[in-house]
Copies of this chain bind each other. A is one copy, B any other.
Amino acid sequence: MQFTAHEISLLLNGTVEGDPQVTVSRLAKIEEATAGSISFLANPKYEQYLYTTDASAVLVNNDFVAAEPVKATLIRVENAYSAITVLLERYNTIKLNKSGIEQPNFVHPTAKVGDDCYIGAFSYIGQGARIGKKCKIYPNVYIADNVVLGDNVTLFPGVTVYFDCVIGNNVIVHSGAIIGSDGFGFAPNPDGTYSKIAQIGNVILEDDVEVGSNTTIDRATMGSTIIRKGAKLDNLLQIAHNVEIGSNTVIAAQTGISGSTKVGDNCVIGGQVGMVGHISIAKGSQIMAKSGINKNIVEENKKWGGTPFFTTYMDNMRNEAAASHLPALEKKVLELEKVIAELKKSVQ
Protein backbone atom coordinates (compact mmCIF):
# COMPACT_ATOMS: atom_id res chain seq x y z
CA MET A 1 0.00 0.00 0.00
CA GLN A 2 1.69 3.10 -1.26
CA PHE A 3 0.13 6.53 -1.46
CA THR A 4 1.47 9.83 -2.75
CA ALA A 5 1.28 12.99 -0.67
CA HIS A 6 -1.16 14.23 -3.29
CA GLU A 7 -3.51 11.27 -2.82
CA ILE A 8 -3.44 11.73 0.93
CA SER A 9 -4.15 15.45 0.65
CA LEU A 10 -7.25 14.62 -1.41
CA LEU A 11 -8.44 12.13 1.19
CA LEU A 12 -7.95 14.65 4.00
CA ASN A 13 -9.06 17.74 2.12
CA GLY A 14 -5.62 19.27 2.63
CA THR A 15 -2.98 21.10 0.62
CA VAL A 16 0.51 19.91 -0.24
CA GLU A 17 3.64 21.98 0.44
CA GLY A 18 6.64 20.30 -1.20
CA ASP A 19 6.79 17.27 -3.51
CA PRO A 20 3.23 15.99 -4.12
CA GLN A 21 4.59 12.78 -5.73
CA VAL A 22 6.58 11.60 -2.71
CA THR A 23 5.24 8.16 -1.67
CA VAL A 24 4.56 6.85 1.81
CA SER A 25 3.64 3.35 2.92
CA ARG A 26 3.30 3.58 6.70
CA LEU A 27 2.44 5.89 9.59
CA ALA A 28 4.98 6.70 12.30
CA LYS A 29 5.58 9.04 15.23
CA ILE A 30 7.53 12.11 14.16
CA GLU A 31 10.47 11.28 16.45
CA GLU A 32 10.77 7.72 15.08
CA ALA A 33 9.76 8.14 11.44
CA THR A 34 11.99 6.87 8.65
CA ALA A 35 11.92 7.55 4.91
CA GLY A 36 8.68 6.29 3.39
CA SER A 37 6.65 7.22 6.46
CA ILE A 38 3.99 9.83 6.93
CA SER A 39 3.86 11.50 10.33
CA PHE A 40 2.01 14.37 12.02
CA LEU A 41 2.64 17.39 14.21
CA ALA A 42 -0.34 18.11 16.48
CA ASN A 43 1.34 18.92 19.81
CA PRO A 44 3.67 21.99 19.58
CA LYS A 45 6.01 20.24 22.11
CA TYR A 46 7.15 18.01 19.27
CA GLU A 47 7.90 20.83 16.80
CA GLN A 48 11.68 20.35 17.16
CA TYR A 49 11.39 16.89 15.56
CA LEU A 50 9.81 18.38 12.43
CA TYR A 51 13.17 19.87 11.49
CA THR A 52 15.12 16.62 11.87
CA THR A 53 12.57 13.90 11.01
CA ASP A 54 13.23 11.46 8.18
CA ALA A 55 9.49 11.18 7.47
CA SER A 56 8.69 11.68 3.80
CA ALA A 57 5.52 13.61 4.60
CA VAL A 58 4.14 15.32 7.69
CA LEU A 59 0.59 16.47 8.46
CA VAL A 60 0.44 19.94 10.05
CA ASN A 61 -2.36 22.34 10.92
CA ASN A 62 -3.29 24.96 8.34
CA ASP A 63 -2.08 27.76 10.61
CA PHE A 64 1.29 26.21 11.43
CA VAL A 65 4.31 28.42 10.71
CA ALA A 66 7.66 26.65 10.43
CA ALA A 67 10.51 28.31 12.33
CA GLU A 68 13.20 26.49 10.36
CA PRO A 69 13.49 24.79 6.96
CA VAL A 70 11.64 21.47 6.67
CA LYS A 71 12.93 18.58 4.54
CA ALA A 72 9.66 16.61 4.52
CA THR A 73 6.69 17.36 2.31
CA LEU A 74 4.03 19.08 4.40
CA ILE A 75 0.33 18.34 4.07
CA ARG A 76 -1.68 21.15 5.63
CA VAL A 77 -5.08 20.21 7.08
CA GLU A 78 -7.59 21.84 9.37
CA ASN A 79 -6.73 19.57 12.32
CA ALA A 80 -3.65 17.36 12.10
CA TYR A 81 -4.74 15.21 15.07
CA SER A 82 -8.16 14.41 13.60
CA ALA A 83 -6.57 13.84 10.21
CA ILE A 84 -4.20 11.22 11.55
CA THR A 85 -7.16 9.40 13.12
CA VAL A 86 -8.81 9.31 9.71
CA LEU A 87 -5.61 7.93 8.20
CA LEU A 88 -5.25 5.30 10.95
CA GLU A 89 -8.76 4.09 10.34
CA ARG A 90 -8.29 4.03 6.59
CA TYR A 91 -5.04 2.09 7.00
CA ASN A 92 -6.66 -0.41 9.34
CA THR A 93 -9.68 -0.86 7.09
CA ILE A 94 -7.40 -1.81 4.24
CA LYS A 95 -5.33 -4.15 6.43
CA LEU A 96 -8.40 -5.91 7.79
CA ASN A 97 -10.36 -5.95 4.56
CA LYS A 98 -10.37 -9.73 4.19
CA SER A 99 -12.94 -11.21 1.84
CA GLY A 100 -13.93 -14.42 0.16
CA ILE A 101 -14.26 -18.01 1.27
CA GLU A 102 -11.02 -19.90 1.91
CA GLN A 103 -10.71 -23.67 1.68
CA PRO A 104 -10.92 -25.95 3.49
CA ASN A 105 -13.62 -24.76 5.88
CA PHE A 106 -16.51 -26.52 7.60
CA VAL A 107 -19.93 -24.95 7.25
CA HIS A 108 -22.81 -27.19 8.31
CA PRO A 109 -25.46 -27.48 5.59
CA THR A 110 -28.08 -26.05 7.93
CA ALA A 111 -26.00 -22.98 8.83
CA LYS A 112 -26.84 -19.67 7.17
CA VAL A 113 -24.11 -17.22 6.22
CA GLY A 114 -25.00 -13.67 5.15
CA ASP A 115 -23.64 -11.80 2.14
CA ASP A 116 -20.12 -10.45 1.84
CA CYS A 117 -18.65 -12.53 4.66
CA TYR A 118 -15.02 -13.61 4.91
CA ILE A 119 -14.70 -17.26 5.91
CA GLY A 120 -11.09 -18.18 6.69
CA ALA A 121 -9.59 -21.61 6.16
CA PHE A 122 -10.08 -24.15 8.98
CA SER A 123 -13.00 -22.20 10.43
CA TYR A 124 -16.03 -24.14 11.62
CA ILE A 125 -19.66 -23.07 11.54
CA GLY A 126 -22.00 -25.51 13.28
CA GLN A 127 -25.50 -26.80 12.77
CA GLY A 128 -28.20 -24.17 12.70
CA ALA A 129 -25.76 -21.26 13.19
CA ARG A 130 -26.77 -17.94 11.63
CA ILE A 131 -24.12 -15.45 10.52
CA GLY A 132 -25.12 -11.91 9.48
CA LYS A 133 -23.75 -9.82 6.64
CA LYS A 134 -20.19 -8.54 6.22
CA CYS A 135 -18.80 -10.71 9.00
CA LYS A 136 -15.13 -11.67 9.14
CA ILE A 137 -14.64 -15.20 10.39
CA TYR A 138 -10.86 -15.66 10.51
CA PRO A 139 -9.09 -19.03 10.28
CA ASN A 140 -9.37 -21.57 13.12
CA VAL A 141 -12.52 -19.93 14.50
CA TYR A 142 -15.11 -22.30 15.99
CA ILE A 143 -18.77 -21.29 15.92
CA ALA A 144 -20.90 -23.94 17.59
CA ASP A 145 -24.43 -25.10 16.85
CA ASN A 146 -27.23 -22.51 16.92
CA VAL A 147 -24.90 -19.56 17.51
CA VAL A 148 -26.28 -16.29 16.14
CA LEU A 149 -24.02 -13.51 14.84
CA GLY A 150 -25.25 -10.06 13.79
CA ASP A 151 -23.83 -8.02 10.91
CA ASN A 152 -20.29 -6.78 10.59
CA VAL A 153 -18.89 -9.03 13.32
CA THR A 154 -15.15 -9.78 13.37
CA LEU A 155 -13.93 -12.98 15.03
CA PHE A 156 -10.12 -13.07 14.89
CA PRO A 157 -8.21 -16.36 14.49
CA GLY A 158 -8.81 -19.03 17.09
CA VAL A 159 -11.94 -17.55 18.71
CA THR A 160 -14.33 -20.17 20.11
CA VAL A 161 -18.06 -19.53 20.53
CA TYR A 162 -19.94 -22.33 22.33
CA PHE A 163 -23.46 -23.41 21.34
CA ASP A 164 -26.50 -21.14 21.63
CA CYS A 165 -24.50 -17.93 22.23
CA VAL A 166 -25.70 -14.70 20.62
CA ILE A 167 -23.43 -11.95 19.28
CA GLY A 168 -24.77 -8.55 18.14
CA ASN A 169 -23.73 -6.20 15.35
CA ASN A 170 -20.24 -4.69 14.97
CA VAL A 171 -18.79 -6.90 17.69
CA ILE A 172 -15.03 -7.58 17.60
CA VAL A 173 -13.59 -10.60 19.38
CA HIS A 174 -9.82 -11.01 19.47
CA SER A 175 -7.87 -14.23 19.08
CA GLY A 176 -8.14 -16.98 21.62
CA ALA A 177 -11.15 -15.50 23.43
CA ILE A 178 -13.62 -18.16 24.60
CA ILE A 179 -17.30 -17.24 24.60
CA GLY A 180 -19.68 -19.58 26.41
CA SER A 181 -17.54 -22.20 28.16
CA ASP A 182 -19.19 -23.81 31.19
CA GLY A 183 -19.66 -21.81 34.36
CA PHE A 184 -17.68 -23.17 37.33
CA GLY A 185 -20.52 -24.92 39.12
CA PHE A 186 -20.19 -28.10 41.15
CA ALA A 187 -22.31 -29.57 43.94
CA PRO A 188 -20.31 -31.15 46.80
CA ASN A 189 -21.12 -34.75 47.67
CA PRO A 190 -20.85 -36.25 51.18
CA ASP A 191 -17.72 -38.20 50.16
CA GLY A 192 -15.83 -35.03 49.19
CA THR A 193 -16.26 -35.46 45.45
CA TYR A 194 -18.12 -32.92 43.33
CA SER A 195 -20.95 -33.39 40.84
CA LYS A 196 -21.02 -31.11 37.85
CA ILE A 197 -24.00 -28.76 37.65
CA ALA A 198 -25.05 -28.63 34.00
CA GLN A 199 -24.58 -25.17 32.51
CA ILE A 200 -27.36 -24.71 30.00
CA GLY A 201 -27.58 -20.93 29.64
CA ASN A 202 -25.65 -18.90 27.08
CA VAL A 203 -23.61 -15.71 26.57
CA ILE A 204 -24.98 -12.60 24.88
CA LEU A 205 -22.60 -9.98 23.51
CA GLU A 206 -24.66 -6.94 22.54
CA ASP A 207 -23.83 -4.54 19.69
CA ASP A 208 -20.47 -2.75 19.55
CA VAL A 209 -18.83 -4.90 22.22
CA GLU A 210 -15.09 -5.60 21.90
CA VAL A 211 -13.49 -8.58 23.63
CA GLY A 212 -9.70 -8.86 24.09
CA SER A 213 -7.50 -11.82 23.29
CA ASN A 214 -7.67 -14.93 25.50
CA THR A 215 -10.51 -13.48 27.58
CA THR A 216 -12.95 -16.11 28.85
CA ILE A 217 -16.69 -15.48 29.24
CA ASP A 218 -18.60 -18.37 30.78
CA ARG A 219 -22.18 -19.26 29.84
CA ALA A 220 -24.92 -18.83 32.44
CA THR A 221 -26.03 -21.82 34.48
CA MET A 222 -29.52 -20.88 33.33
CA GLY A 223 -30.40 -17.66 31.51
CA SER A 224 -27.61 -15.50 30.07
CA THR A 225 -24.25 -13.98 30.85
CA ILE A 226 -24.63 -10.54 29.24
CA ILE A 227 -22.12 -7.98 28.00
CA ARG A 228 -24.16 -4.87 27.25
CA LYS A 229 -23.91 -2.58 24.23
CA GLY A 230 -20.61 -0.84 23.72
CA ALA A 231 -18.73 -2.46 26.61
CA LYS A 232 -15.00 -2.94 25.97
CA LEU A 233 -13.13 -5.85 27.56
CA ASP A 234 -9.35 -6.10 27.50
CA ASN A 235 -7.23 -9.28 27.32
CA LEU A 236 -7.24 -12.24 29.72
CA LEU A 237 -10.39 -11.26 31.62
CA GLN A 238 -12.45 -13.85 33.44
CA ILE A 239 -16.19 -13.21 33.25
CA ALA A 240 -18.02 -15.90 35.21
CA HIS A 241 -21.48 -17.37 34.70
CA ASN A 242 -24.53 -15.10 34.92
CA VAL A 243 -22.43 -11.92 35.16
CA GLU A 244 -23.78 -8.76 33.54
CA ILE A 245 -21.44 -6.01 32.36
CA GLY A 246 -23.12 -2.65 31.76
CA SER A 247 -23.22 -0.62 28.60
CA ASN A 248 -20.06 1.35 27.75
CA THR A 249 -18.18 -0.13 30.68
CA VAL A 250 -14.45 -0.69 30.06
CA ILE A 251 -12.43 -3.31 31.92
CA ALA A 252 -8.63 -3.55 31.79
CA ALA A 253 -6.63 -6.76 31.43
CA GLN A 254 -6.56 -9.73 33.83
CA THR A 255 -9.56 -8.63 35.90
CA GLY A 256 -11.89 -11.37 37.12
CA ILE A 257 -15.60 -11.05 37.90
CA SER A 258 -17.25 -13.87 39.84
CA GLY A 259 -20.61 -15.46 39.22
CA SER A 260 -23.85 -13.45 39.08
CA THR A 261 -22.19 -10.08 39.77
CA LYS A 262 -23.74 -7.11 37.94
CA VAL A 263 -21.46 -4.24 36.88
CA GLY A 264 -23.35 -1.05 35.97
CA ASP A 265 -23.11 1.13 32.88
CA ASN A 266 -20.19 3.45 32.15
CA CYS A 267 -17.86 1.95 34.73
CA VAL A 268 -14.08 2.00 34.37
CA ILE A 269 -12.44 -1.03 35.98
CA GLY A 270 -8.63 -1.27 36.25
CA GLY A 271 -6.47 -4.31 35.59
CA GLN A 272 -6.10 -7.33 37.90
CA VAL A 273 -9.20 -6.37 39.87
CA GLY A 274 -11.16 -9.20 41.48
CA MET A 275 -14.86 -9.12 42.34
CA VAL A 276 -16.68 -11.71 44.43
CA GLY A 277 -19.94 -13.15 43.17
CA HIS A 278 -23.49 -11.90 43.64
CA ILE A 279 -22.72 -8.20 44.13
CA SER A 280 -23.80 -5.06 42.25
CA ILE A 281 -21.51 -2.24 41.17
CA ALA A 282 -23.20 1.13 40.72
CA LYS A 283 -23.04 2.80 37.35
CA GLY A 284 -20.14 5.12 36.72
CA SER A 285 -17.95 3.41 39.32
CA GLN A 286 -14.20 3.65 38.77
CA ILE A 287 -12.13 0.93 40.38
CA MET A 288 -8.39 1.08 40.91
CA ALA A 289 -6.20 -1.66 39.47
CA LYS A 290 -5.61 -4.72 41.72
CA SER A 291 -8.57 -3.91 43.99
CA GLY A 292 -10.60 -6.71 45.57
CA ILE A 293 -14.30 -5.87 45.72
CA ASN A 294 -16.33 -7.98 48.12
CA LYS A 295 -19.55 -6.06 48.62
CA ASN A 296 -22.06 -3.93 46.73
CA ILE A 297 -21.09 -0.48 45.54
CA VAL A 298 -24.25 1.58 45.80
CA GLU A 299 -23.09 5.17 45.31
CA GLU A 300 -22.77 6.06 41.65
CA ASN A 301 -19.84 7.72 39.89
CA LYS A 302 -17.25 7.29 42.68
CA LYS A 303 -13.66 6.04 42.65
CA TRP A 304 -12.78 3.03 44.82
CA GLY A 305 -9.70 1.03 45.73
CA GLY A 306 -8.17 -1.44 48.18
CA THR A 307 -8.72 -5.05 49.22
CA PRO A 308 -10.61 -6.61 50.95
CA PHE A 309 -11.80 -3.50 52.86
CA PHE A 310 -11.97 -1.35 49.80
CA THR A 311 -12.96 2.26 50.22
CA THR A 312 -12.99 5.48 48.22
CA TYR A 313 -9.92 6.03 46.12
CA MET A 314 -8.64 8.87 48.32
CA ASP A 315 -9.20 7.00 51.57
CA ASN A 316 -7.49 3.96 50.13
CA MET A 317 -4.49 6.02 49.10
CA ARG A 318 -4.36 7.49 52.64
CA ASN A 319 -4.60 4.02 54.18
CA GLU A 320 -1.88 2.66 51.94
CA ALA A 321 0.36 5.66 52.57
CA ALA A 322 -0.09 5.14 56.32
CA ALA A 323 0.72 1.46 55.89
CA SER A 324 3.98 2.40 54.25
CA HIS A 325 5.23 4.11 57.45
CA LEU A 326 3.83 1.57 59.88
CA PRO A 327 7.20 0.39 61.22
CA ALA A 328 7.98 4.00 62.21
CA LEU A 329 4.60 4.26 63.94
CA GLU A 330 5.24 1.05 65.86
CA LYS A 331 8.59 2.36 67.01
CA LYS A 332 7.07 5.63 68.13
CA VAL A 333 4.40 3.84 70.19
CA LEU A 334 7.11 1.81 71.93
CA GLU A 335 9.02 5.00 72.77
CA LEU A 336 5.86 6.68 74.07
CA GLU A 337 5.23 3.62 76.21
CA LYS A 338 8.63 4.07 77.86
CA VAL A 339 8.09 7.78 78.39
CA ILE A 340 4.73 7.07 79.99
CA ALA A 341 6.22 4.43 82.27
CA GLU A 342 8.80 6.92 83.50
CA LEU A 343 6.18 9.63 83.88
CA LYS A 344 4.17 7.24 86.01
CA LYS A 345 7.14 6.65 88.29
CA SER A 346 7.73 10.41 88.65
CA VAL A 347 4.10 10.99 89.49
CA GLN A 348 3.76 8.21 92.04
Contact = CB atoms under 8 A, between A and B. Distances in A.
B184 A234 contact: yes
A266 B138 CA distance: 37
B156 A140 contact: no
Q: Tell me which of A120, A200, A332 has the highest count of chain B C-beta atoms within 10 A of its own C-beta.
A: A200
Interface residues of A, number: 112
Contact of A222 (B29, B144, B346): B29
Interface stretch (A16-24, A54-62, A68-76, A251-259): A251-259
B274 A274 contact: no
A92 B124 CA distance: 21
A337 B336 contact: yes
A321 interface: yes
Interface in A320-348: 320-327, 329-330, 332-333, 336-337, 339-340, 343-344, 346-348
Contacts of A323: 309, 319, 323, 326
Interface of A: 27-29, 32, 85, 88-89, 91-92, 95, 102, 104, 106, 120-122, 124, 138-140, 142, 144-145, 156-158, 160, 162-164, 172, 174-176, 178, 181-182, 184, 186-187, 192-194, 196-200, 208, 210, 212-214, 216, 218, 222-223, 230, 232, 234-236, 238, 240, 247-248, 250, 252-254, 256, 258, 265-266, 271-272, 274, 276, 288-290, 292, 305-309, 311, 317-327, 329-330, 332-333, 336-337, 339-340, 343-344, 346-348
